[in-house]
């Protein structure tokens, strides 16, 4: 049958392998240049941009190997898929076929890093990443609605998403490439592949990128339609109130979600309560307050908000120091009675509101300033030490 043609492995691969024997350093250098040229887009904390792979990039690919696009077309036009409708259509793209051959070449030589880089390069071929990005973001491009995407990344994403765990589009695609290679490397280097097998390897990579972008796009449109976004007055992690970098914002978001997971998956820590008790607040009373808070799922958005404010405040004012360190505890528990930052004052309001709702003893004693401060410091301390525990895992 037609699908048992064996053009890619028997005819194209030897051409690409011979070119790489002489020009593998140029190939890797060209990938490095592509990454450098697209650095700002690739290392964003969210897929704001299409990240185009244009004809200039295609030409650079072939120049790095010392072969031409026409040479490749002349070979692969004999493959069964060339003259029929095929899904995915990108299997007909000469640069894609060269890239899958390069991945095979490096895997056969056990050059794992080079194989991973070639896979990342293939991901960002215009027929894969940019094409899929355009498919999922036709209505509201995320760069034009950045506040919505910022909300998705900082509020909606959890650590089950590689974008959240890795902190950038490039990091997530690198992880995707590593997982892909681990699963398919034995098959890709096999000697009995036909053209339909290569179609399958290309489709598998494309499908993984598609799933990654679809998952983000689904949350994005949920936020977009519900008018959920980070704004500079209340929610932004990088306005006049908090001047932190995008990378710090991503890290703050990850630590926030890790702490939420810790708080909701484990019992209230009596050990932490003992560390946060004082002359007015006993450990068991603090435990009861925190249990009451966590038992009501409606409190989770405000808990997440408090954690994020505490973390971002520390990052802004303690450059180069680590969340979860002794400095973090000391700074976060230090009194800030006259702060002009509305987010710090919002955090105070959140804690005092919780104490009013969940502690009958606080309601009786809060008229005495020193006592109110002790309750505030005790409850804040529980969350600060919980952040430390999550950050240091």
Terminal-residue alpha carbon distance, the chain: 55
How many whole angstroms separate alpha carbon 375 and alpha carbon 379? Answer: 6
Dihedrals φ, ψ of 48, to 5°? -70, -30
pLDDT of the residue at 245: 61
- Tokens of residue 356, six digits: 């009013």
> 195-225 and 129-136 helices cross at what angle (nearest 10)?
40
pLDDT of the residue at 88: 92
DSSP label of 90: G
Query: Taken in order 173, 179, 183, 186, is the CA torsion positive or negative?
Result: positive
Dihedrals φ, ψ of 196, to 5°? -70, -30
How many whole angstroms separate alpha carbon 118 and alpha carbon 30? Answer: 10
pLDDT of the residue at 2: 47
In the chain, how many H helices and how many E strands?
20, 0
Q: Are 122 and 174 in contact (CB under 8 A)?
A: no
pLDDT of the residue at 323: 92
DSSP label of 322: P
Dihedrals φ, ψ of 372, to 5°? -60, -40
Query: With a threshold of 0.75, does the pTM exceed it?
Result: no
Q: Are 129 and 206 in contact (CB under 8 A)?
A: no
- Is 334 exposed, middle or buried (CB count within 10 Å of its CB: 0-12, 13-18, 19+)? exposed
* Residue pLDDT tens, the chain, 393 long: 446 899 999 999 999 999 999 999 999 999 999 999 998 899 888 999 999 999 999 999 999 999 999 999 999 999 999 999 999 999 999 999 999 999 999 999 999 999 999 999 999 999 999 999 999 998 777 888 888 888 888 778 877 888 988 888 999 999 999 999 999 999 999 999 999 999 999 999 999 999 999 999 999 998 888 877 654 333 444 433 455 565 677 788 889 988 998 898 889 999 999 999 988 999 999 999 999 999 988 898 999 999 999 999 898 888 888 898 989 999 999 888 777 778 888 999 999 999 999 998 999 988 888 899 999 999 999 999 999 999 887
Q: Are 307 and 259 in contact (CB under 8 A)?
A: yes
Q: Are 283 and 382 in contact (CB under 8 A)?
A: no
Conformational region of residue 51, where left means phi above 0, alpha means psi within -120 to 50, and beta covers everything else: left
How many whole angstroms separate alpha carbon 167 and alpha carbon 229? Answer: 19
- Is 85 exposed, middle or buried (CB count within 10 Å of its CB: 0-12, 13-18, 19+)? exposed
Residue 308 to residues 31, 55, 235, 311, 344, Cα–Cα distance (Å): 37, 43, 10, 5, 11
pLDDT of the residue at 247: 65
pLDDT of the residue at 231: 47
Strands (E), the chain: none
pLDDT of the residue at 381: 94
């Amino acid at each position: 049958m037609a699908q048992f043609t064996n053009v890619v492995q028997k005819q194209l691969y030897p051409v690409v392998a011979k070119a790489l024997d002489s020009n593998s350093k140029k190939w890797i250098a060209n990938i490095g240049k592509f990454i450098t040229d697209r650095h700002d887009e690739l290392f964003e904390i969210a897929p704001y941009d299409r990240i185009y792979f244009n004809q200039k990039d295609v030409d650079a690919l072939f120049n790095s190997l010392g072969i031409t696009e026409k040479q490749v077309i002349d070979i692969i036009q004999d493959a069964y898929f060339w003259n029929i409708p095929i899904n995915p259509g990108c299997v007909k793209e000469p640069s894609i076929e060269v890239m899958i051959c390069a991945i095979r070449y490096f895997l056969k030589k056990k050059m794992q890093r080079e194989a991973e880089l070639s896979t990342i390069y293939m991901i960002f071929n215009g027929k894969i990443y940019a094409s899929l990005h355009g498919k999922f973001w036709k209505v509201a491009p995320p760069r034009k609605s950045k506040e919505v995407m910022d909300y998705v990344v900082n509020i909606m994403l959890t650590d089950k998403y590689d974008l959240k765990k890795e902190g950038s589009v490039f990091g997530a695609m690198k992880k995707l490439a590593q997982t892909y290679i681990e699963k398919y490397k034995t098959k890709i280097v096999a000697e009995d592949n036909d053209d339909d097998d290569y179609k399958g390897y290309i489709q598998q990579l494309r499908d993984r990128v598609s799933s990654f972008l679809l998952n983000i796009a689904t949350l994005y449109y949920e936020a977009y339609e519900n008018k959920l976004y980070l704004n500079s007055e209340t929610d932004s992690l990088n306005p006049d109130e908090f001047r932190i970098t995008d990378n710090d914002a991503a890290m703050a978001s990850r630590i926030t979600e890790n702490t939420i997971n810790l708080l909701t998956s484990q019992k209230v820590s009596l050990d932490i309560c003992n560390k946060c008790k004082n002359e007015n607040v006993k450990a068991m009373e603090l435990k009861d307050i925190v249990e009451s808070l966590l038992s009501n799922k409606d409190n989770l958005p405000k808990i997440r908000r408090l954690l994020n404010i505490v973390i971002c405040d520390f990052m802004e004012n303690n450059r180069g120091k680590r969340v979860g360190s002794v400095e973090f505890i000391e700074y976060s528990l230090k009194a800030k009675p006259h702060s002009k930052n509305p987010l710090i004052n919002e955090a105070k309001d959140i804690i005092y509101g919780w104490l009013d709702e969940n502690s009958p003893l606080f309601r009786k004693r809060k008229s005495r300033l020193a006592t109110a401060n002790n309750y505030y410091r005790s409850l804040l301390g529980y969350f600060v030490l919980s952040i430390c525990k999550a950050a240091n895992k």
